[in-house]
Structure 1
């Protein structure tokens, strides 16, 4: 009998593992979802050198987390920035990896972001008014006030080094050549109201590089922050994906 399946949630840039709390609640008790805070975000301890914020350094952190927890069989659930990290780890073909679910992922190729947007994001660091504007842009459905406050807090808690490192380096990394090494089943979920990365980006930049049979599922009326905007749909799709493994 195979070991029980655990979902490992990897959060978005300027977020934290807390974004997966609702989805985890909906998957329980059948499945466990664990979501660490990635270095420089949430409650994670910030390192002091820029190389610790590379996509591979984050993949190392996730691999260490999985080993530390003694998880034998798992699906990586990568959201946005976390999607690129999930793919980097999957390309290593780690033991126990059963599948990869990508939620509005940053593509394996450099993320499509204009220099103007990159500079605007760098200037927005640590400003609550800018965090409010970002929240409006990346969600499409009305959210409870407690959830809105959580998203804003995560944004404001991000460290400067982690913030800038992703904008200047991580988002620009190109790991597409490694995608031939991803051999486990994959699925992609995207919101049709995503103002950060439209579903067409996933169809053009990510889907063609993943194993044959990978599906791109579109969630109607959802924005970029799928675990907040559409927790029920995300949990349902994750459950359906797991059932096929």
Structure 2
């Protein structure tokens, strides 16, 4: 539901919410609307975008009916699309830092090996985790260079990527006729509440969303999948009209 042909544009619906819990929830899913030049604070209008939205959901997500839509929403709200594995690794890093006041890559990798041994984890899965933390640290270094993270910043959770997409799924579900407005609204409100459980600021959430996206799709290519999250993030953090600038996290 995004295209390389689109230019990142911050669009607001004058009749949509700008303050309060619903606006906060919408703002958690603002990346994709900005990349597609759609209003960040509005659902897709089923009268004008219904057919296109149904086709896009079927092509991109395999969703063709309300039941499949609901299943995917619940999956995203549970953080199961991006998966819990990366957050486990990030938790191990926080634990090391809490114990020793620092955590370099060798310490992190050693902790993963020890964790795997203590639980009888399959060696190939441990090897995969060890590889993944190297990729995480490289992405975080790039994030710092590009302003997605502060100088010594790290990502705390990648579940924000699923939460943000749950907002878009609510927008699309209403547009496709797979749910009514109160149902879509409840998903958006739930998303806003979840983000506050895992993040402390818009910058914190934005970095987590970005890492979740690139780990899933970019494969360290720093191509469209990276640029299409970097551009909206910068706009959300800096544009005077950005919801991230006027809605408290």
TM-score by length of 1: 0.30
**Higher relative strand content:** 1
Structure of greater relative contact order (alpha carbons < 8 Å, 6+ residues apart): 2
TM-score by length of 2: 0.29
**Higher relative helix content:** 2
The structure that has the greater radius of gyration is 2
